[in-house]
Amino acid sequence: MKNKILVLGLALAFIFSTFAVINTYAQKAQKPIKGTVVSLHDIVMGGKGIVSKDEAKKLAENGNAIVFKSGKKIYFVYNEDGTFAGKKLANYAESTSVGIVGKTKTVNGINIIIMSMIDNM
């Protein structure tokens, strides 16, 4: 009788721990922020910011900010190691819709994404 209770207790503990792990993974899955890759310089000068992939790469190499626009918000995007992700964003400049997964925050009024993944949508 004691063995049956012990086995039943262990089975229930295993089942509950499995559900706890599944719930943890489900909570970590983030939805991507959808938007487009744009030139900050072009937006500041009154344009829409739309540039080709080649233009974006040249701009990024010359130190111009390539940023992410989602709705009316402009985000500066950084890699998880803290480096600016403008050159990586430039590869997605011609895409009509890009998704970025990461943590967002606002520092002194500037919107920032710490990017963990980017892809065409």
Number of C-alpha atoms within 13 angstroms, CB side, residue 99? 7
At 89 the pLDDT is 96
Average pLDDT over residues 98-104: 95
Q: Are residues 42 and 85 in the same domain?
A: yes
Q: Are residues 83 and 26 in the same domain?
A: no
Tokens, residue 116: 């963990």
Hey, how many other C-beta atoms are within 10 angstroms of the C-beta on 46? 6
At 15 the pLDDT is 59
pLDDT digits (tens, 9 = 90+) for 24-82: 554 556 899 999 999 999 999 999 999 999 999 999 999 999 999 999 999 999 999 99
At 121 the pLDDT is 87
Q: Are residues 94 and 38 in the same domain?
A: yes
At 45 the pLDDT is 94
Average pLDDT over residues 98-110: 95
Q: Are residues 67 and 115 in the same domain?
A: yes
Q: Are residues 54 and 96 in the same domain?
A: yes
At 34 the pLDDT is 97
CA 5 to chain centre: 48
**Domain span at 116:** 33-120
CA 6 to chain centre: 46
Contacts of 6 (CB under 8 A, 6+ apart): none
User: Between residues 65 and 3, which one has the greater pLDDT?
Assistant: 65
Tokens, residue 95: 């895409």
pLDDT digits (tens, 9 = 90+) for 76-99: 999 999 999 999 999 999 999 999
